[in-house]
Each structure stands twice: as structure tokens, then as C-alpha cells.
Amino acid sequence: MSLPTIVVQPDADDEIDEIARYIARDNLEAGKRFYDAVEDALEKLARMPGMGAIREVRKPALQGLRSWPIRHYENYLIFYRPLKEGGIEVLHVLHGARNVERIVERGT
């Protein structure tokens, strides 16, 4: 059985790499585990895209936006939209202490 589609936008891909590098500065293995945790979360969300919390957004293009914390790295959130044909589109991966609403609304 194949996995549903997972589309990771370039901004989200860059954010994942930046976070992993930041974590790896103190602990290389933890940085690697972050990548594994992201992959696990994306696979779960792709199979069950309705799991994440619905986010209130102003931009019509962002309707349906949801967020989900990354297991063992709960301060980091995946911002995604379910795809009509199944799976998810990942728009951002951000630390929850950042102004996520401004970043998400500005970035799309």
C-alpha cells in the first residue's frame, strides 16, 4: 500500500533543515532524530490529515490550514493543508514561540 502524497513546499523544507542544524549544533544525534520525527509526523498526517488543529487565517488561499506538533520536539509545529486527492501540503515548520500567524500569512 503506497503512502498518500506529501508535498513539502521549499520554505518548509528550508525550515526543517535550519531547525535540524540548530539542534545538531549541541547534539548531532538529536539533529538526526529531528529529521526522523518530522518524517514520522508527515507520514501520519498524510494518512490522517484531519488530525491537526484547524488554524484561523485571513487569507482565502490558506483556508483549511492545520498545525501539528512534532513528537519529542513539541515546540515545533508543522503547518499544512490536506490535499483534495489525499495527502498533505506542508507550508511551514516553525517553533511555536515565533509569530507563526504573521509568518504563515506572509509566506503564502
How does pLDDT run across 65-78, given as a tens digit for each residue? 999 999 999 899 99
* Ranges of H-type helices in 27-89: 28-47
- Which whole number is the average pLDDT over 41-62? 91
- In this prediction, residue 4 carries a pLDDT of 87
Confidence (pTM): 0.90
Q: All domains of the chain, ordered by start, with CATH? A: 6-107 (3.30.2310.20)
Kindly tell me if the per-residue pLDDT of 85 is higher than 80. yes
Q: Is 36 helix (H, G, I), strand (E, B) or coil?
A: helix
Sheet architecture: strand order including 66-70: 6-8, 88-95, 73-82, 66-70, 53-54
